[in-house]
Amino acid sequence: MRTGSRVLLVLLALLLPVWGSVAAAHNGDLTVRPTCKPGFSDEDYTAFVSQNIVEGQKLLKVKFNNCAGNKGVRYETNSLDFKVRADGTMYAAHQVQMPLKQQILMVTAWDPQTLGRWDAIVRLLVAEKSQHNGHKPKGRKTVPGEPAQQQSDTLLPWRQHQSSNGLRRQKRDWVIPPINVPENSRGPFPQQLVRIRSDKDKEIHIRYSITGVGADQPPMEVFSIDPVSGRMYVTRPMDREERASYHLRAHAVDMNGNKVENPIDLYIYVIDMNDNRPEFINQVYNGSVDEGSKPGTYVMTVTANDADDSTTANGMVRYRIVTQTPQSPSQNMFTINSETGDIVTVAAGLDREKVQQYIVIVQATDMEGNLNYGLSNTATAIITVTDVNDNPPEFTTSTYSGEVPENRVEVVVANLTVMDRDQPHSPNWNAIYRIISGDPSGHFTIRTDPVTNEGMVTVVKAVDYEMNRAFMLTVMVSNQAPLASGIQMSFQSTAGVTISVTDVNEAPYFPTNRKLIRLEEGVPTGTVLTTFSAVDPDRFMQQAVRYSKLSDPANWLNINATNGQITTAAVLDRESDYIKNNVYEATFLAADNGIPPASGTGTLQIYLIDINDNAPELLPKEAQICEKPNLNVINITAADADIDPNVGPFVFELPSVPSAVRKNWTITRLNGDYAQLSLRITYLEAGVYDVPIIVTDSGNPPLYNTSIIKVKVCPCDENGDCTTIGAVAAAGLGTGAIIAILICIIILLTMVLLFVVWMKRREKERHTKQLLIDPEDDVRDNILKYDEEGGGEEDQDYDLSQLQQPETMDHVLNKTPGVRRVDERPIGAEPQYPIRPVIPHPGDIGDFINEGLRAADNDPTAPPYDSLLVFDYEGSGSTAGSVSSLNSSSSGDQDYDYLNDWGPRFKKLADMYGGGEED
């Protein structure tokens, strides 16, 4: 060791022999397997570069294989300064000035088809211009062409070189090889891993420390270092499945905490051990395969994952089938791909009708399936044999029979039963029935019962016994799904169905229903119109048909009960309200004498041809006109109940008698339907005039009618409208009549006013004399009717016997004389007093009141103030004393003078009782 060197880090590998053997196995001692595993060719790449890198400069080439020709594989880096081409060549994206002695990059390969991602580490080391040798750690690749340095137990991370002229070159940090630590080590702990030492420890005291995950970051204190000697230890067993690698930094400082050396990166990798069994994603897998499938048909895939390293035999899982239940028709119906877990059929003979389900136990073993060293786990694969339509439906019998009454529809006449060995209620089992022959008119259809799969022969079109007495049908059955390839239809898939038709009594029917006949109105009574007869469809039954009327609104027709001949019972009038659009409609009933009897209806329509049997009527019936001519005219027309040609054009004319009509009036023809009536003379006195007008129609023969039109002649204003006075005068009311009407109105208003005054006076008298009321509303009767409201909680416990008449009178007879309750009836003989009237006399009210007052004063049994002291029991426990001992008589030993001291409220009592002796 040179004394002039500034820094020397000694890395001592003090690993156990077993670690060395594991590392050797990890570095490639295992036998190469032909199985392709996607990933980089190495996990760590190293390249020496200059401090100044130009744009586009190639640095190194990484090798990656995705086991599919690397089609579509993309590369990425975690740095914007460097990129990777599709062939794996890393280059500088632009000019780069390397700031450090080394730079560590992460290269990621991404397969867009499988969405898999793989990572590799690339270390770029800055090489000095005069350096020709580089260090190549074990397990890493360097740039081709650079020789590798001999590996030794002592590593010099910071080397110092002196040139020939005595100048010192700048130091360069070495890359420390990763430290491999096997997981699940049994100790003892702590176990030494490496020793880190600086050559300055001879000059000054140095303290060593480590930082990073596993040291001073969670998980804490997995690794420790002796601060004096620099020996680094692992403190507990490692678990690769928990964390596969650690990145630590080693530091060297003096006693004052000043940095002596630059920090060194330490990479610690946990070596995998086979400590995890394969775990199936599901304990039970469900799959299916069609029956009759050929060998090699895919069924399902089972998958097991191993937490160990998948790049080693510890995580390489292989599958095999352990058992198959049932073992029919062969014990090896299925096989499994040992690497992918795909289960396929290996033998023919799958038949759902024999075996519907197989249970297969699958075992997954790591260590590439080595049962001696690998760990295993099992899962259950349930394989369901799905149904295919390999069994055609077959009728249970070759012939079926049924019976149906004629004229019935939606009737099931026969049930067809079939047998199908395919899976029930599936398209391979559901039956579809067809009628091949025997029903050209489509009277029948066959519907499938969804529960029983039976065919129900149903009548959809009524059959006629007189036309067909029986049907011979040929039916065929098939499945909803087509038959599987190579399966032929069975001869038992066709059958015959015999259907007998039974005769029933059918109703007679009118061959021409809604029969229409045409004739002129006004035919005389008894005229034969037509014969409306019905036909009985029961040709094989001897039955008689009888006719009757069902509907004849105007009662114009009669029908012969035996032959259906229609005659008139009255004159048919086209202008009747029973005629709609010139048609009269009647309904008749035809009934046979079958058992049970049946009947049918028929409608007869009579179209009535119009004849000129209605004279025209003048319109309007009333009009008004001015008393002077040439101011206005009256437009007149006519209405005729007949129809063309027995209506207009009309002829309007004035009669010759009386002569004053033609003298005062004239008619001017406008057209065939309208004319104008106007004054002929220059002035006609105001009033109402009846003007006769003769109106004649155009019928053959023509009919005429003399109609009266009431014309009001009145004075008119300049616009030709009647004035108000003129209208009254025209109505025929003189001045005297108008005055009489006004007087009547005044008298009526006076009577109404007098009635209102009388009602007000009566209301006032009723309020003044309030005793004049209905006896049922008398307060003396109603004052005793009230509810008991109680006296609170203290009044809930009371003796109701106090309100009843006692059975014995001892307690009353033993009372002190002169002291008793005034509301108790006295014991002993009572004097007879006049009976008090109950109902007030409708006469003198004053006499009634005085008489009642005298009776109350002279009745010792009555309490004071009439009956106002009679009240219900209101409870016991009152704090006030009883007032029942007060005597209504003023005579006695009581002194009532103290009532004068009680105030004005008791003045009346003081006057009644206190002043008796003074009088």
Average pLDDT over residues 254-273: 90
Cα gap 265→269, rounded to integer Å? 13
Q: 252 Cβ partners below 8 Å, 6+ apart?
A: 196, 198, 200, 206, 207, 208, 259, 260, 261
CB neighbour list of residue 593: distance below 8 Å, 6 or more residues apart: 543, 544, 546
pLDDT by residue (tens digit) across 431-487? 999 999 999 999 999 999 999 999 999 999 999 888 888 999 999 999 999 988 888
User: Is pLDDT larger for residue 630 or for residue 756?
Assistant: 756
Check: CB of residue 377 under 8 Å from CB of residue 353: no
CA-atom Rg of the chain in angstroms: 66
Please name the helix (run of DSSP H) or strand (run of DSSP E) that holds residue 418, with its range, or none.
Answer: strand 418-419
Strand partners, 496: 399, 474
**pLDDT above 70: percentage of residues in the chain:** 76
Q: Which residue has the higher pLDDT, 60 or 789?
A: 60
Instruction: Provide the whole-model pTM.
Output: 0.43
**Is 718:631 a contact under the CB 8 Å cutoff?**
no
Per-residue pLDDT, 355: 94
406, 470 contact by CB (below 8 A): no
- 323: pLDDT confidence band, cut at 50, 70 and 90? very high
Kindly state the DSSP code that residue 211 receives in the 8-state scheme. E
Confidence class for position 284, pLDDT limits 50, 70, 90: very high
Residue 125's pLDDT band (cuts 50, 70, 90): confident
- Angle formed at CA 139 by CA 50 and CA 246, multiple of 5 degrees: 90
- Give the H or E element holding residue 767: helix 735-768
Q: How many CB atoms are closer than 10 A to CB 40?
A: 19
Q: How confident is the model at residue 339 (pLDDT cuts 50, 70, 90)?
A: very high
Band (410; pLDDT cuts 50, 70, 90): very high
Q: pLDDT at position 732, please?
A: 54
Residue 8: pLDDT band (50, 70, 90) is: very low
Question: Which structure tokens are listed for 117?
Answer: 């991602």
